[in-house]
Amino acid sequence: MAKDNSQIAMEDMQQTIYKELGYKSYPFPFTTPAYLEAYGALVGLNTPPAKTARVLELGATYGGNIISQAVFNPEATFVGIELSQDQVEKGNQIICDAKLENVSLVQGDILNFDESMGTFDYIIAHGFYSWINDEMKDKLLNIISNHLVDNGIAYVSYNTYPGWHTMEEVRQLMLFANRGQDKLTHKEKVLRGKTVGSLVGAQILNYDNLKERNSKFLGALRSVMQKDDYYVGHDHLEPHNDPCYFYQFNDHLKAHNLAYVCDADLTLSMVRTYDESIAAKLEQLAPNSQADQEQYLDFILDTTFRKSIICKASFANNINFAVANPAEVDTIPVRTIVNSFVFQILFDEEALEMFENELVRDTFQAIIKDGGTFNMIEALAILKAAHEAAHASDDELEPAVCSLYKAVVEHMVRGGIRFYKTFPVKEEYMEGLSYIPARFTNFVKAIVNGGSEYMYGANMFNDAIGDISEEDLLFMELLNKPKAKSTVIRKIKDALFSADQSQPTKHQNAMAEAFYNELTTRMEQLGFIRSKKTGSIS
């Protein structure tokens, strides 16, 4: 397809914006194959195994979202498509430095998508749909329709109305502030937009009546002013930022033989789990239409952003939202779904007061103290033990079991509990048996040695880790194979104090041991630890 002059000019402008502003590429936990696999399972879809998935990301920037995924999923394959040549080159350099062979970035316009790339189990387009024109939106959905396997899942995020109407006012203010300022660089336009926005906001704050009347606008303006320059430049001053209503996105899916599954923010899709009153009103407004109910909910919540999980229309016939109905928690089908997951609790002990049932509260407390990871067999065993310890009657056990299932599902929806079919590997550090595989060390080395300018590190859940450092790298290189604690501490002491022997030996030993204890815990939390059950200790 030949490009016209306007398309070429638009591409040149976008490439210039990227070079001037830079862009730090984030990892996103809700885009991982393990995450998407679990969401499919939650609504009854049998999606491809995450462990060996073939994943495509459209609009991959420097690859910060898929490079980290490739590190933790060595049997899966990741491909990113990105328009910016500069970002592709830098991202591929990080991939090369990290010695990764299961991820690659390809420079290209999606309008010229290489049809020979084949099919993918999961397709990701985060922060892309709203920032492209209508022709490219059609092409994006066309790629998903034609290159997603029949039982695959895609993820597309985008800005939404009605909430983005207020953000649109901020965008228009910044665009107006830069009207006639063609000589400014994009970075200078961001600074000018922020300056003018601050001045306008300050004037509103001078008057109580204006402050009250414009509270939503002030909130949106404050939010934008606090963002990094590169975010503001891309979100508010790029040529395209085209929010839509959810129902419009859903209609667009149907035109491409695709179907909406649910939102990655399950509070938008499974309201009945946590608020029966709102759910009943939505059912009254849109009987038997999940999509229409979610659109009404967007009006109620003033939703600004959606993270839609979608599939092929032919696959959507298998979708079942029974797990979202608290009344069905007692049924075997729903409990079977819940029993198939491994969970990670994100809330802490201080939040346990929210659980009215004492046995459920004690169960979650025990799980948190044991690290926060569990499956339902383990949770039920803890609950039954707590029941016996409390000498409670047999009549109290089944209601507690039901309350436990309801609590787990509710907090899966609210985001307080992560859930996976294929749980990311996490091992505890064991002296003399644990080590850090080279793929993690190489990844951290690539980040520390320049990659951090373009992307963040990540843990096993693909959460961004912004403080990966040379100290981490030092420890990881020391622990390239299982070693005795004394050996590691001695090597740490040598590294820390080889150039400074003024510190007393006792102090050196204490510092080295503290470093050892802190870093072993950190490596566990990041998911870098692996263990050999047998082997010599050096």
Please choose, from the candidates 425, 430, 497, 435, the residue with its C-alpha nearest in 3D space to the C-alpha of residue 461.
425
Widest Cα–Cα separation across the chain = 79
Alpha-carbon distance 315 to 261, whole Å?
Answer: 10
- For the record, the structure tokens of 392 come out as 């409670």
Q: Count Cβ atoms below 10 Å from residue 499 Cβ, excluding itself.
A: 6
The sign one gets for the Cα dihedral 439, 67, 48, 527 is positive
Alpha-carbon distance 167 to 224, whole Å?
Answer: 9
Alpha-carbon distance 155 to 159, whole Å?
Answer: 14
Please choose, from the candidates 481, 538, 536, 487, the residue with its C-alpha nearest in 3D space to the C-alpha of residue 516.
487
Please choose, from the candidates 488, 490, 437, 446, the residue with its C-alpha nearest in 3D space to the C-alpha of residue 470.
446
In tens, the pLDDT along 212-268 reads 999 999 999 999 998 888 888 878 888 778 999 999 999 999 999 999 999 999 999
Please choose, from the candidates 385, 356, 392, the residue with its C-alpha nearest in 3D space to the C-alpha of residue 370.
385
The sign one gets for the Cα dihedral 114, 119, 124, 130 is positive
Query: Are 153 and 164 spatial neighbours (Cβ–Cβ below 8 Å)?
Result: no
Alpha-carbon distance 409 to 336, whole Å?
Answer: 12
User: What SS3 class is residue 309?
Assistant: strand
Please choose, from the candidates 129, 136, 130, 132, the residue with its C-alpha nearest in 3D space to the C-alpha of residue 110.
136
Query: Are 528 and 447 spatial neighbours (Cβ–Cβ below 8 Å)?
Result: no
In tens, the pLDDT along 466-487 reads 999 999 999 999 999 999 999 9
Percent of the chain whose pLDDT exceeds 70: 93
In tens, the pLDDT along 360-380 reads 999 999 999 998 999 999 999
Alpha-carbon distance 372 to 366, whole Å?
Answer: 9
Please, which residues bridge with residue 244 across strands? 160
In tens, the pLDDT along 384-431 reads 999 998 877 888 899 999 999 999 999 999 999 999 999 998 899 999
> Is the pLDDT confidence value at 537 over 50?
no
Contacts of 235 (CB under 8 A, 6+ apart): 171, 224, 227, 241
Give the amino acid at 136.
M
DSSP string of 151-190?
Answer: EEEEEEEEEEETTHHHHHHHHHHHHHHTTT-TTS-HHHHH
**Strands (DSSP E) along 337-433, which ranges?**
342-345, 373-374, 417-420
- For the record, the structure tokens of 59 come out as 């609009």
Query: What's the pLDDT at 230?
Result: 80
Query: Are 294 and 271 spatial neighbours (Cβ–Cβ below 8 Å)?
Result: no
Alpha-carbon distance 418 to 346, whole Å?
Answer: 7
The sign one gets for the Cα dihedral 309, 313, 314, 316 is positive
Stretch 316-322: mean pLDDT, rounded?
Answer: 91
> Is the pLDDT confidence value at 493 over 90?
no
Peptide bond into 29 cis (omega under 30): no
